[in-house]
Amino acid sequence: MRGYEPVASSSGEKSTPSFSQRRRKPLLILLLGSIPALALLAWLGQDRLPSWSGEVIDGGGDGWDYVDQVERERGLRRLSWGALERQGARSSIRKNLRGDKGYLFSMYGAGWNNQVIQMMNLIYLAHLTDRVPIIPSFRWNMHPASPDAAVSEIFDLSQLSSSLNDMAIIEMHEVKGTTTEPERLKTVVYDGEKEQYKKDGSLRSVGDLIYAEMMEDDEVGCWSMHASKGEEVHESGRDLYLIKTPFTPLPRSVFNWDEDPGRPSFPRVADLLRARHEQKPEGSIAILRNYSMPDPSVWPDPHLACIDSTFGFGEQIDRYDVGGEYRSGTGAWAAVGNRMRFSRGVERIGEMYLREIFGGDTPPYIAVHIRRGDFGDAFLALSQRQYAHAAWLVKESLRIKHGVEIKHVLATSDETDLQWLSVLEDYGFTFVNHTQLNTVERFGPWFPTILDSYLLSSGKGFLGVIYSTMSILAYRRTIDWNQGVARMIELDHQVEADWTWS
């Protein structure tokens, strides 16, 4: 395993050549007041763009244009530099891969924050095995018809790469398209790494647009955590990327319990991938026979490795607690998640929202995540008084341990009963209301969830729901990024009879 270096500062980021990977339409930024042109140019040239209290960002219904504009202002080199045969998505996933490198990809499932954890786990596993990760775009599971969002649009992968010894990272849209890919991800800008030619035989010039080729059917042998337990596995890659992925069960040797498959171990899966099997894996064959499953038509590929899902992978994970290592700040969180900040564009939109919510400069606040819609009766039984008391404990901890007096509590919730929420408002809670903020109209359907994640991760204190991946990620970010205090509300949270908010 490679050692981990401290997170690189912005001065350590790769800076050439300065060409965007995607073409977008012009961005509209409305700046209040008069700003001299030279001052504006100096600001645009800075690597870490400042936040101005007077800035108003108009997404025009598509926040990705603004996010891309901010990234282009940074002028950073693409992260796939040196890892591809050529630029531009090809008809087959293999056509853009180099023969002297190993690669690893996986597919996502479930809600967005689950996808974030799967993506972090994928990058961590690739890092452990000296492979180049190929990370899919995020899918909007609540609105399947919504186009995908690239990981680099939401998270700062450049800083992450710098902290992992300049690790190359490929995004799936760079090698092959998808059936749900938005137009903005179907082109890349040629940056001149290698000579490339147009269809007419002429040499490409730096700045040329390269359009994705039409997809064709692929077949890639894929390891499967679910098949190891005899479970049916849905081939999401076939639906999205026209990649058929016949599954081979991960052998039981990669799991932490001989008598129960539990969850896979990062080190053991890494050993399996480093072995680059050329023969049929005997441990996997035994599982196929045990569950009377047919042999896959294609066995796992040692060059282009694939795993059906990385959710729940861990170093020494408790089989019933798939988020335990993330809450404890170890494993993939320590190596990858802690170093994966939000993209500069998302940060700046989030900062603007905080100014709008608080009516000026952002004060230190406690963020609270209340999830009630789909977590069962035990979570519905938690009262407003229990939530208020748990938030107050965070407030008191900040006062006693850090000497910080917090006067503001900012909350997000899936609860639709305004009367239920009003009880917490009486305690001083302020709820983020994306309907009133016109978030979808201003920035698009992805942004309520993305901004909730940013807002929950930006407080000095945090209170969340123990099994929610959104809460788990905000919990760690509050502790590690903000040096704050975070806790999860217990289902049997006790409140003293004479307690009052103070």
Give me the count of residues in the chain.
502
For tokens 């109209």, what's the residue?
441
Residue 319: per-residue pLDDT: 63
Asked if 366 and 461 touch (Cβ cutoff 8 Å), the reply is yes
Report residue 142's pLDDT band, with 50, 70 and 90 as the boundaries: low
Strand partners, 135: 171
Confirm if 468 and 375 have CB atoms less than 8 A apart. Answer: yes
Alpha carbon distance 55, 348 (integer Å):
9
Position 473, amino acid:
L
Count the alpha carbons within 13 Å of 493 in the hemisphere toward its beta carbon: 25
Specify the DSSP element, H or E, that contains 464: strand 461-465
The residue among 314, 333, 332, 409 whose CA lies nearest residue 366 is 409
Which band of pLDDT confidence, cut at 50, 70 and 90, is reported for residue 45? very low
pLDDT digits (tens, 9 = 90+) for 205-224: 999 999 999 999 999 999 99
Q: What is the pLDDT of residue 312?
A: 85
In this structure, are residues 191 and 209 in contact, taking their beta carbons and an 8 Å threshold? no
Contact 460, 364 (CB under 8 A): yes
Helix (H) or strand (E) holding 133: strand 132-135
Distance CA 124, CA 15 (A): 24
User: Is the pLDDT reported for residue 237 higher than 80?
Assistant: no
Name the β-bridge partners of 105: 134, 306
Question: b or e along 283-319 (b: 16 or more beta carbons within 10 Å of the residue's beta carbon)?
Answer: ebeebbeeeeeeebeebbbeebbbbbbbbbbbeebee
Of 224-238, 332-346, 452-466, which gets the smallest average pLDDT? 224-238
- pLDDT tens, position by position, 367-401: 999 998 777 788 889 999 999 999 999 999 999 99
Q: Which pLDDT band holds residue 236 (cuts at 50, 70, 90)?
A: low
The whole-model pTM stands at 0.87
- pLDDT, residue 278, reads 65
Which stretches within 403-499 are classed as H helix?
418-426, 439-443, 447-456, 469-482
Give the model's pLDDT for residue 347. Answer: 96
What's the token pair of residue 344? 């500069």
pLDDT digits (tens, 9 = 90+) for 488-499: 999 999 999 999
Condensed to tens digits (0 to 9), the pLDDT of residues 449-460 reads: 999 999 999 999
The residues facing 411 across adjacent strands are: 368, 431
Q: pLDDT tens for residues 50-76?
A: 344 456 787 777 899 999 999 888 888
Per-residue CA distances from 107 to 135, 149, 179, 380 (Å): 8, 14, 14, 32
pLDDT in the model for residue 33: 33
Question: What's the one-letter identity of residue 330?
Answer: T
* Closest by CA position to 106, among listed 232, 252, 225: 225
In the prediction, which pLDDT does 55 show?
A: 67
- Distance separating alpha carbons of residues 485 and 475, to the nearest angstrom: 8
As a whole number of angstroms, the distance between CA 457 and CA 477 comes to 6
Q: Is the pLDDT assigned to residue 92 strictly greater than 80?
A: yes
φ, ψ for residue 270, nearest 5 deg: -60, -45
Lowest mean pLDDT among 38-42, 187-191, 354-358: 38-42
Beta strands 55-57 and 247-249 are unpaired
Whether the per-residue pLDDT at 461 is higher than 70: the answer is: yes
Check whether 240 has a pLDDT greater than 50: yes
Q: Is the pLDDT of residue 415 over 80?
A: yes
Cβ-contact 384, 423 below 8 angstroms: yes
Flag whether pLDDT at 28 surpasses 60.
Answer: no
Helix (H, G, I), strand (E, B) or coil at 281: coil
Residue ranges of domains in the chain, CATH in brackets: 1-359 (no CATH), 363-489 (3.40.50.11350)
Q: What digits encode the pLDDT tens for the residues 29-40?
A: 333 333 333 333
Q: Tally Cβ neighbours within 10 Å of residue 275.
A: 11
Percent of the chain with pLDDT over 70: 84
Residue 277 clears pLDDT 60, i.e. is over it: yes
Q: How far apart (Å, rounded) are the C-alpha atoms in residues 315 and 256?
A: 9
Task: Look at residue 170 and tell me whether its pLDDT is greater than 90.
Answer: yes
- Estimate to the nearest angstrom the gap between the alpha carbon of 290 and the chain centroid: 36
Q: Identify the helix (H) or strand (E) that includes residue 284.
A: helix 282-290
**166: nearest Cα among 9, 14, 336, 19:** 14
Mean of per-residue pLDDT scores for the chain: 85
HSE-CB at 274 with a 13 A cutoff on CA atoms is 13
DSSP string of 74-107, one letter each residue: HTPPPTTTTTBSSSS--SSGGGGB-TTS-EEEE-
pLDDT > 90? residue 440: yes
Q: Where are the beta strands (DSSP E) in 213-347?
A: 218-219, 222-224, 243-244, 247-249, 304-307
